[in-house]
Structure 1
Amino acid sequence: MDPLKREQRLEQLRTMIHELANGNFSHRIPLGNQSDDIESFGLMLNLLAEELGSFFVHPGSFGERDIEDPYSLILYTDLNITAVNSVFLKLLNHPKETTIGQPIKQFLHSSSFHNLKKQFKNPYKRKKKPLVVKLLITLTPHYSLPIDCWGYCHILQTSETSLYFIRGLPIVIHSPQSVHTTSTAHPSFRSDTVLQYQADIQKIRAVHQYILEHLHESLPNTLALSRLFHINENKLKKGFKELYQITIFKLHLEKRLDQAMVMIKNTPTSLKVVAHSLGFKSFPHFSKVFKDKFEYPPSHFRNR
């Protein structure tokens, strides 16, 4: 193939990727009759644009439509960042020049990256299409506090390559105290601390990540959690409170309510669907605990 024509076709792919990252789902790549990977990727990107266009108006979607200022990024097969929007760069507090082409692992908490890879593999085992994966990730911005984010990822795959389109919103920024206590460095323990070993800290961090991944359902009791993560129940309860300054079930509730607030403010999802999607057994219970935290019922923020 003429090298100039090949470069022009590759530029069309790059343009399409940037349009998707910026939320333009009406852009299309003109297709010909070539039988190569460039043509296959062009077709897949066009299908992704069609899927995204319908996804955002589907009432049962996780991210829904009309999301206000979402972050967006696209990852290539090797999980390197191919394209981002300005919101994602602002969250990272990082310039575009040193973000594009870098591995996403560089900007995620280690346990968050591990779970991201695991979630990307699972859909292919189930062979479900279209592939839409719900995400909970923790960004580690440059010279700033970690940020928990929810989102969803559309996965495209040809015979040799994959493309991951991720879009969502931040949930909560960690406090300076929690950042200090969850540092990877060895902490200076008090004499009365229950966390004497780094292995215990890693297990409790794993429980924390488990909580973030199960905001849509009730948690097992502490005995079941302790057995699941191979840690003494008393050490789990006291160590978790020491590490995060909050109990396990209080954190689970707080995170669910924070995510509910994001969905209420930024999506048209009905309040009952929000409550159900986050595992609350009844809307009256959801409304009560929501009001306890935010001083007003959910409808107050939806109306505004």
Structure 2
Amino acid sequence: MLFELATGNVVNRMDTSSFEDLNEVIELLNTVAQKLENVVSANEYVTPFYSFQNSIKYSIILDRNQKIKNCNQALLEMLNYSATEIVVLNINDILEQQSLVLWEAIKLDIEKDEKYQETFPLKFFTKEELIVPLFCTISRHYFTNDIFINSITTIIQDIFDDVNFSLSNNSRDVEVQIIQKVYTFILNNLEEPLPSTKELSKQFGINEFNLKNNFKICFNTSIYKL
């Protein structure tokens, strides 16, 4: 465990033992690892234990009236819309309620700043009204005043090397991102009753079995043992 921490692996946790005295040491080490992980997360550091790749996964272009002008294929697949369906929608039609409030503030800032570019967490509704949370970089095009919304996905390169993972690359990228969001959600709401896996799967737009299975793969523990 100490060697794992020394390499930068702050997500690893030790399982409990049948020996009570040993459990005290395990609890202490797990607590230290958790505090280190919180510090790493709060300061936006990236642990070197895994290899990361950043890429733009989803992209939306809005006109000056906030109507969806264009988007990439990955967004259509994620939200389960066809191209003809989505181009008649306004951005407000696919944003969750809390994100709508945030978007109203963003719009005001965009109107004031022709060089606007900021990053925010936004939650989108799929066609089936499942919620998909994404971190989005929002920018204003200098000449056309179009608004660009891009979501940059962080892909963990090495975490599945020793695992027989049957998902396609595109599906895996999306699910890894969702699992990371679920993990962050749990850490940010430790004082609240944890929703059931069925509720979590609906909130984050992921199959319940994949949620439990992939969470175990990513963090070497179950959702309710964090």
Whichever structure has more strand as a proportion of its residues is 2
TM-score (norm 1): 0.34
More contact order relative to length (CA 8 Å, sep ≥ 6): 2
Scaled by the length of structure 2, the TM-score of the pair is 0.44
Q: Relative to total residues, which structure has the larger helix share, 1 or 2?
A: 1
